[in-house]
């Protein structure tokens, strides 16, 4: 009767997808491993003699960590599980999950029994999801037309840069650029040409960036913001002037402009050293006011509040 029962259990265990095993924790020798292991990894049942065989067949990247976890948990008598890549007989790897139950006698671990599950499909799906999530995250922070940062990313970057400037009492500058008479451009050349023009202006502005802490974003429509951490007023004005010149150099025809025969932009510049209770929105509002002033002044120019600072420029502005 007992033999029948044992036979039944063995048949059941050996017909599951999960691979059963038992390891003597005193001798560190395998007492049993299901025959399914051979179809999963290619190694024969007999080749699993000791715990070392198991350790040797774990991918080197997670070998030490997995073995250490298993040894310490087993010694402490704690059931555990581990995901790792198991070496196949032909030199490949398969992602598996090992679920381990610890058997103790009088407070001493005597054996481990466990199941090995093939989780390679799940891992593949996880990789795909991870890649998709990364893509999605990147898309949600980038403008789809120009590929530069979008307003969402700008808002986040501004918050970080503002807090840092507040803490270190450094100047922070913002330049808002707006393409002049862009409605007329669209009306004259069509919306598709308008899109191309926005891309070219974005690329040109982006090329003016020389510090890793500078960030250009498309704020909306034909409006761009250039956020400049640790940049004083003089430096920001000079950079804005460089940008206007770089765009003029592109000589993008704009036949219906009353300002020039080519695309021009206006810019508002603002620099602040944040005080304790100041708000980053105030930086944008002040720069926007200056942009409005530049438009009022006739466009294709830069406006900033107050006199130019006398602090010498230490930004290595790109040549024009």
Ligand X SMILES: Nc1nc2c(ncn2[C@@H]2O[C@H](COP(=O)(O)OP(=O)(O)OP(=O)(O)O)[C@@H](O)[C@H]2O)c(=O)[nH]1
Q: Binding residues for ligand X, per CB under 6 A?
A: 145, 178-183, 186, 191, 194-195, 198, 221-222, 295, 299
Closest CB to ligand X among residues 131, 191:
191
Read off the tokens for 146: 């120009």
Distances, alpha carbon 310 to alpha carbons 193, 233, 300, in Å? 42, 9, 24
- 235 as an active site residue: the answer is no
- Of 144, 217, 221, whose CA–CA distance to 174 is shortest? 217
CB of 196 to ligand X, least distance (A): 8
The position carrying tokens 């130019």 is 308
Q: Cβ of 238: how many Cβ atoms within 10 Å?
A: 17
- In whole angstroms, the minimum distance from the beta carbon of 287 to ligand X comes to 15
Counted residue by residue, the chain has a size of 320
Strand partners, 304: 269
Q: Which of 88, 95, 104, 114 is nearest to 31 (CA)?
A: 114
| Beta carbon nearer to ligand X, 92 or 220 | 220
Q: How far apart are the first and last CA of the chain?
A: 94
Minimum CB separation of residue 159 from ligand X in Å reads 25
Q: What's the token pair of residue 193?
A: 């040409």
- Nearer Cβ to ligand X, position 184 or 242? 184
Query: Cβ 184 to ligand X, closest distance in Å?
Result: 6
Q: Give the integer Cα–Cα distance in Å for 203 and 215.
A: 13
Which of 164/295 has CB closer to ligand X?
295
Catalytic residue among 3, 38, 81, 222: 222
CB of 68 to ligand X, least distance (A): 55
Is the Cβ of residue 92 or residue 221 nearer to ligand X in the bound state? 221
Instruction: Mark out the alpha helices in the chain (DSSP H runs).
Output: 2-14, 36-41, 51-56, 60-76, 120-140, 151-168, 182-189, 191-207, 233-250, 280-296
Supply the residues annotated as catalytic.
Answer: 222
């Amino acid at each position: 009767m007992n033999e029948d029962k044992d036979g039944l259990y063995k048949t059941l265990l050996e017909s599951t997808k999960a691979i059963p095993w038992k390891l003597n924790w005193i001798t560190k020798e395998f007492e049993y491993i299901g025959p399914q292991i051979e179809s999963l990894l290619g190694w024969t049942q007999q080749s699993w003699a000791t715990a070392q065989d198991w350790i040797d067949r774990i991918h080197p990247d997670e070998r030490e960590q997995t073995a250490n976890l298993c040894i310490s948990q087993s010694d402490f008598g704690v059931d555990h599980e581990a995901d790792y890549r198991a070496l196949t007989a032909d030199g490949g790897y398969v992602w598996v999950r090992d679920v381990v139950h610890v058997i103790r006698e009088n407070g001493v671990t005597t054996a481990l029994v466990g199941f090995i599950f093939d989780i390679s499909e799940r891992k593949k799906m996880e990789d795909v999801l991870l890649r998709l999530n990364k893509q999605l995250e990147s898309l949600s922070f980038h403008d789809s037309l120009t590929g530069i940062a979008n307003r969402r990313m700008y808002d986040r970057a501004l918050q970080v840069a503002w807090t840092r400037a507040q803490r270190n009492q450094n100047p922070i500058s913002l330049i808002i650029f707006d393409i002049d008479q862009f409605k007329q451009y669209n009306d004259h050349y069509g919306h598709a040409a308008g899109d191309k023009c926005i891309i070219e202006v974005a690329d040109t502005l982006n090329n003016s960036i020389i510090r890793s802490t500078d960030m250009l974003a498309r704020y909306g429509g034909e409006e761009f913001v250039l956020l400049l951490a640790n940049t004083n007023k003089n430096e920001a004005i000079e950079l804005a002037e460089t940008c206007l010149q770089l765009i003029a150099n592109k000589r993008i025809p704009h036949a219906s402009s009353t300002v020039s025969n080519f695309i021009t932009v206006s810019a508002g510049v603002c620099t602040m050293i944040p005080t304790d209770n100041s708000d980053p929105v105030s930086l944008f509002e002040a720069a926007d006011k200056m942009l409005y002033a530049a438009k009022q002044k006739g466009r294709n120019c830069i406006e900033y509040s107050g006199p130019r600072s006398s602090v010498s420029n230490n930004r290595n502005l790109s040549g024009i």
